[in-house]
Amino acid sequence: MKNRIALILLSTAVLLQACGVYTFKDVSIPPEVKTVKVNFIENKARLVNPRLSPALTDRLQQKIVGQTRLTRTNNDDADWVISGAVTEYGVTTSGISAQQASMNRLSVLVSISLRDNITGKTTEYQVTKSFEFSGNKTLQQAETELGEDLIRGVSDEIFNRLFSNW
């Protein structure tokens, strides 16, 4: 029974792709674009997490190299140059219980710029990602607890905004 369901799903996927109804491309890059430079993502937020910028820059570079056909370079004449800055990093209360904060939300906003040196066009993006944490924890405790999920979440949002076709 499981093999039959898997075969039906696989057949449906092949048919959909063959008919042009849906493609399984999750990364959209023009064929003439071959190289990319990722500049350091600066931290211009009022509240600064000193580990965020370097970790975010590194994670985004790794993701681009690992999940696209682009070659990373440090030259300013790369086909695409990606720059960015963390512009907001802050905590708000997202839940109240017994007149106290029961849940807090850490919100990260990153402004991203994609300069296409082939077309001469620059596109600006705003990427935001929020993380819920217990109202009993300090921001430092929440950052420690979120750890890699914070970096992965924000870098995934940036990557998807830059490279996804949907």
Percent with pLDDT over 90 in the chain: 63
The predicted model gives 146-155 an average pLDDT of 93
Q: Cα–Cα distance between 98 and 76 in angstroms, integer?
A: 55
Q: What is the pLDDT of residues 67-102, one digit of tens each?
A: 999 999 999 899 999 999 999 999 988 766 656 657
Percentage of the residues of the chain whose pLDDT score is greater than 70: 79
Mean pLDDT of 105-117: 96
Determine whether 32 is exposed, middle or buried from the number of CB atoms within 10 Å of its CB (0-12, 13-18, 19+). exposed
pLDDT reported for residue 63: 96
- In 15-163, the DSSP E strands lie at 35-38, 42-43, 71-72, 80-97, 100-116, 121-134
pLDDT of residue 46 exceeding 60: yes
| DSSP H or E run through 12 | helix 2-18
Q: What is the pLDDT of residue 103?
A: 86
Domains observed in the chain: 27-163 (3.30.160.150)
Check: CB of residue 67 under 8 Å from CB of residue 73.
no
Give the separation between CA 76 and CA 110, rounded to whole angstroms: 21
Please state the pTM of the whole predicted model. 0.77
